[in-house]
A = this chain, B = another copy of it.
Amino acid sequence: MQDESKRRSNRERSEATRAQLVAAARRLFVDKGYAETGTPEIVAAAGVTRGALYHHFADKQALFRAVVESESRRVAAEIEAAAPRDMPVREALVAGGRAFLDAMREPGRTRLLLLDGPAVLGRGDMDAIDAAIGGMRSLREGLAAAMAARTIRRMPLDAVTLLLSSAYDRAALAVEAGADPDIFMDVLAAFVDGLAAPG
């Protein structure tokens, strides 16, 4: 076993420190919320000092943003794994929705992405993150495909995406609060089917 804690390159050190900070921050932000979590607590959990934190991140909010982006990426990955692009459009929408609700049951995700995220980063920034790397991107693509295939009516794509995405978000919150996922899946499916093209 050669010495692995010393003689690290700067790149390695930075990446390790950043990862530890993001991981520790995620745990604490999830457990206590953004406002109630102090940077002294975060750096203690990460095993570094506040100097390291403010070397790698501009401020506490920037660290939070890193946590949110990481989490958003994971949710999107789970959705895309469950609803690949070559799946039939309606089936993909249902499977993607189901995967989203499942992914959001991972503890802390609703708090990070749906409660603290919008309040701390602003709705505009959260929408940008969601549209770029989050689950909303998948939904938008699915709806676009469904419109192209005439599975659902042609409607303003961005507006439909935003509103449906919002309904999915609220369903995730309800499920975490103890509601039955199947009931919400059914209602969400009814929403989508209600947009079906006539004929």
Contact = CB atoms under 8 A, between A and B. Distances in A.
B163 A167 contact: yes
A191 interface: yes
Contacts of A19: none
Given A35-B35, A162-B170, A190 B153 contact: yes
B162 A123 contact: no
Interface of A: 33-35, 114-116, 118-120, 122-124, 153, 155-156, 159-160, 162-167, 169-171, 173-174, 177, 179, 183-184, 186-188, 190-191, 193-196
Contact of A119 (B116, B173, B174, B194): B116
Copies in the complex: 2
10 contacts: A35-B120, A115-B119, A116-B119, A118-B119, A159-B171, A159-B187, A162-B170, A163-B184, A166-B166, A166-B169
A177 B35 CA distance: 25
Contact of A115 (B33, B123, B177): B123
Contact of A179 (B159, B193, B194, B195): B159
